[in-house]
Amino acid sequence: MLSRTNKLYIILLIAILSFSGCLFVFNSTVPTLPLRIGISPWPGYETLFLARNLGYLENSSIRLVELPSAIEVMHALRNESLEVATLTLDETVTLLASGVKLKIVAVMGISSGVDALLAQPQYQSLQDLKGKRIGVENTAVGATVLESALEKAGMNLSEFVRVSLTKNKHSQAYTEKKIDAVITSEPVKSDLISQGALSLFDSSLAPGRIVNVLIARSSILDAQTSTICSLVKAQIKALSYFKTYSRKSAKMMASRLQIDPEYFLKSFQGIILPDFLENRKLLNPSDISLYTSAKQLVELMLDYGFLKKRPNIGNFIDNRCVKGKNFE
């Protein structure tokens, strides 16, 4: 005969096992949490919206969240209001330095001429700009173009007057001749060149230094690998469609933005949009080009005061979504 105490132990054990079984069943049926992708305005990011319009984002848990600026995207990542985001490499490095654990899962764009140093027509070379005013946005991208230009010309920053200008003031400052040159990008670049501005340097002369990437929070990438990889696949598939049917795609994307399709297509000038094979190469551990760009960027950002401490970039590139077996 079992004692009263033993009977109580057995009843308690059965209750615990039953409760554990219920938890197992419950957890096995919990749906995948929504995957929120933060996107700020930039032409190369539009292929994500194109993927949605083409029906490539079949996974209902994927949500594209459009935000007004990259700063808001970064803020939402810090607050864990987003799981995935589109950012520039310097923005990614900034988040890493602040303690946010991230992985680059795809490269969405590489500046190859879209960012440029433009001068008033009377200045024919960088040497002609000695002692003159150069307008530049107080960002790592602006600093990268400026440093690259000076490096190529064998000059240094002390030989110029640096004027801090946000991008929305570039055109006006140039037109009103408040500056002698400006570091800017499309669409301002094309507008100023049409007014007679001379391009003395552009990002095609500094390949791989300005990069736009798709990043995921590390814990989410491990927990929702298949969903994130399906997003990468959809974006690359949409990019392929765009490259094959550029005008048709431009109409779809420009319609969403409520701008002229031809103007939208023009905004892609000077941007390299890496396809699957290029992504596989760039994210391959044996290719150090992206890591080298990030390392150079960290040094520049520390020098300019954009970073207060050195981030750990030793393991922030993840190629699992662009390996052949995961892409197919």
Do 158 and 229 lie in a common domain?
A: no
Q: Is residue 18 part of a domain?
A: no
pLDDT by residue, tens only, the chain of 328 residues: 545 544 444 444 444 444 444 443 344 333 457 899 999 988 899 999 999 999 999 777 899 999 988 889 999 999 999 999 999 999 999 999 999 999 999 999 999 999 999 999 999 999 999 999 999 998 899 999 999 999 999 999 999 999 999 888 999 999 999 999 999 988 788 889 999 999 999 999 988 899 999 999 999 999 999 999 999 999 999 999 999 999 999 999 988 888 889 888 988 989 999 999 999 999 999 999 999 999 999 999 999 999 999 999 989 999 999 987 545 5
Domains held by the chain: number: 2
Do 159 and 249 lie in a common domain?
A: no
Q: Is residue 131 part of a domain?
A: yes
In the sheet that holds 198-202, the strands lie side by side as 161-164, 133-136, 181-185, 115-119, 198-202
Residue 173: domain span: 115-205
Q: Is residue 1 part of a domain?
A: no
Boundary-marking domain end, from 205, 234, 255: 205
Question: Looking at residue 228, which CATH number applies to its domain?
Answer: 3.40.190.10
Do 201 and 275 lie in a common domain?
A: no
Q: Is residue 232 part of a domain?
A: yes
Do 311 and 216 lie in a common domain?
A: yes
Do 320 and 222 lie in a common domain?
A: yes
In sequence order, what E strands does 69-170 have? 84-88, 102-111, 115-119, 133-136, 161-164
Q: What is the pTM of this model?
A: 0.82
Spatial contact of 253 and 264, defined as CB atoms under 8 Å apart = yes
Residue length, the chain? 328
Do 323 and 235 lie in a common domain?
A: yes
Do 302 and 214 lie in a common domain?
A: yes
Do 128 and 229 lie in a common domain?
A: no
Do 227 and 308 lie in a common domain?
A: yes
Other residues' Cβ atoms within 10 Å of the Cβ of residue 252: 18
Do 119 and 198 lie in a common domain?
A: yes
Q: What is the three-class DSSP state of 77?
A: helix
Q: Is residue 273 part of a domain?
A: yes
